[in-house]
Amino acid sequence: LFSKLKKGEGEYAGADPEDRDEYKAENVFFVPEKARWSYLQSKAKLPEIGKVVDSAMDAIEKDNPSLRDVLPKVYARGNLDPTNLGGLIDLVGNIALGDAKVRSADILGHVFEYFLGEFALAEGKKGGQFYTPRSVVELLVEMLEPYKGRVFDPCCGSGGMFVQSEKFVADHQGRVNDISIYGQESNQTTWRLAKMNLAIRGIDSSQVKWNNEGSFLNDSHKDLKADYVIANPPFNDSDWSGDLIRKDSRWQY
């Protein structure tokens, strides 16, 4: 979007690439100048690169309320070698991502999903708490066919069901804006991953909520009438407080 606004062609004629409202109108998070990759790369060799990256995270959160308290600010820690961090920034910055069409084709989203998958593999059984394999997600969404309406995931993990739901609509020539997503997650770190995953892809995550009690004990969407419910529940959780909700009216369904 930044490139389109900068060129100012067609519907973007006269647009200001530094106008935050332009990004808000298209549900794209705004990246302030000192948080842009070109700026970070220009500071990569500095010994205080960790503080620069943390400041960039703060700046993004300040300009994008939906990301507040979501992004990690841990890069200035003493146990993180600034040389390694700067080297990584340079390495990623020098990767050839192909032409403009490829760069716009959700490349960051695919990279994020790749690392989620690798992290889940490294975590073993615990990885299933925040990541569902793409093949499983695709199968569930294809069965559900969420063309239009409200999609709810009561234990949304890192948001893969939402990403695939919007991709399903787009692949079937539907309008992505015809569906809205609602979710809840009980693990705060996983919730942050979901918020980042959705933000990278331009998906509105304002109704993706967190509390440490979860959907069973503290439903964040009590009055929601969802059109589609999709989930990969944490089946291996033995302490799910079943005794506390034995008479819950939701069990009648």
Element spanning 185, H or E: strand 179-185
Q: How confident is the model at residue 165 (pLDDT cuts 50, 70, 90)?
A: very high
Exposure of 27 by Cβ count < 10 A (0-12 exposed, 13-18 middle, 19+ buried)?
middle
Instruction: Tell me, yes or no, whether 105 and 135 share the same domain.
Output: no
**CATH code of residue 185:** 3.40.50.150
- Residues 127 and 122: their CA atoms lie apart, in Å, by 8
Provide the residue range defining the domain that includes 47: 2-121
DSSP 3-state assignment of 165?
A: helix
Choose one of 63, 95, 121: the last residue of a domain.
121
pLDDT digits (tens, 9 = 90+) for 109-144: 777 888 888 877 777 656 566 778 889 999 999 999
pLDDT at residue 51 above 70? yes
Residue 100 token pair: 């403009």
Q: What is the pTM of this model?
A: 0.80
Residues 169 and 153 in one domain: yes
Task: Produce one character per residue of 76-101: b if its CB has 16 or more CB atoms within 10 Å, e if not.
Answer: beeeeebeebbeebeeeeeeeeeeee
Last residue of a domain, which of 106, 121, 136?
Answer: 121
Per-residue pLDDT tens over the stretch 179-234: 999 999 999 999 999 999 998 888 989 999 999 888 888 999 999 999 999 998 77
Q: What is the pLDDT of residue 105?
A: 45
User: Could you tell me the pLDDT band of residue 12, with boundaries at 50, 70 and 90?
Assistant: confident
Same domain, 115 and 29: yes
Pair 138, 57 in one domain: no
The verdict on 133 and 243 lying in the same domain is: yes
28 and 49 housed in the same domain: yes
In which residue are the tokens 């403009």 written?
100
Q: What is the pLDDT of residues 17-40, one digit of tens each?
A: 888 888 887 778 889 999 999 999
At residue 119, the pLDDT reads: 77
Q: How confident is the model at residue 101 (pLDDT cuts 50, 70, 90)?
A: very low
Say which residue, 38 or 97, is predicted with more confidence.
Answer: 38
Query: Residue 106 — φ and ψ, nearest 5°?
Result: 65, 30
Q: Provide the number of structural domains found in the chain.
A: 2
